[in-house]
């Protein structure tokens, strides 16, 4: 599961890392939530092209946009079989840049769930494996949407959750984006848990619980926030 994430990186850094020539106008984001616009990178005539798409995949055959709220994630084990995702997996793969994501664990003694921020120790941007689709309304409006693939957790994340987003190493980005370079079985072979080396899991305050909250406050750690989750000790890979 991945229901919130961040993209705080400098645009120039994103252009360099993702080998782009430009970016749409974006601001640092600390609490990206479903149905909001997210940055994606797609392949167009051999070039990586950035766009802003609505988060929550709506297949082209859907009756309305509401289905997207239930499709912010797609399970990598079945994505090639499910009607909602099958065509997108075959033909419309994308990268979704991020530099961290949030998950929640149960609070102590039935209290508020504790948000945890998963990120690289150096906060370098990375890429979720994503799919996209294009949907046309009866009024003629075209809406492009996307979803983030998930997989089983690595050893670090498994202490807290039974799923994690698919985070692709940079040397797999071109293969993932290219619809003709590999077979479906080869592409599915990329959908594995991320190498835990260099990852950190940091408890943050409850401000991020509100989808409307934005800014550095989402990563602030109030004095009453536990520095380790209840019963857990290993935070760094």
Q: Which residues are catalytic?
A: 2, 103
Beta-carbon contacts of residue 10 (< 8 Å; ≥ 6 apart): none
Spatial distance between the Cα atoms of 78 and 36, rounded to a whole number of angstroms: 25
Q: Specify the long-range contacts of residues 207-213, CB closer than 8 Å, at least 24 apart.
A: 208/4, 208/30, 208/31, 208/102, 208/115, 209/112, 209/113, 209/115, 211/4, 211/31, 211/33, 213/31
Whether 167 and 126 have beta carbons less than 8 Å apart is answered as: yes
CB atoms within 10 A of CB 197: 11
Helical H segments across the chain, by residue range: 11-17, 86-91, 173-177, 184-188
Tell me if residue 87 falls in helix, strand or coil: helix
């Amino acid at each position: 599961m991945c229901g919130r994430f961040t993209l705080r990186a400098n645009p120039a850094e994103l252009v360099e890392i993702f080998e782009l020539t430009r970016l749409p106008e974006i601001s640092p984001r600390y609490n990206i939530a479903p149905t909001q616009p997210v940055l994606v990178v797609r392949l167009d005539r051999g070039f990586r092209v950035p766009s802003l798409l609505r988060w929550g995949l709506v297949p082209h055959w859907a009756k309305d946009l509401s289905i997207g709220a239930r499709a912010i994630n797609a399970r990598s084990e079945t994505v090639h079989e499910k009607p909602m995702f099958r065509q997108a997996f075959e033909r419309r793969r994308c990268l979704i840049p991020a530099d961290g994501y949030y998950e929640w664990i149960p609070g102590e003694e039935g209290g508020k769930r504790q948000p945890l921020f998963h990120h690289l120790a150096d906060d370098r941007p990375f890429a979720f494996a994503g799919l996209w689709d294009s949907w046309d309304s009866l009024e003629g409006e075209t809406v492009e949407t996307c979803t983030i693939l998930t997989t089983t957790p690595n050893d670090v994340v498994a202490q807290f959750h039974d799923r994690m987003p698919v985070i692709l190493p940079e040397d797999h980005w071109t293969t993932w984006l290219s619809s003709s370079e590999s077979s479906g079985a080869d592409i599915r072979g990329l959908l594995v848990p991320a190498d835990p080396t260099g990852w950190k899991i940091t408890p943050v305050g409850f401000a991020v619980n509100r989808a409307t909250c934005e800014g550095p406050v989402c990563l602030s750690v109030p004095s009453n926030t536990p520095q380790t989750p209840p019963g857990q000790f290993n935070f760094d890979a």
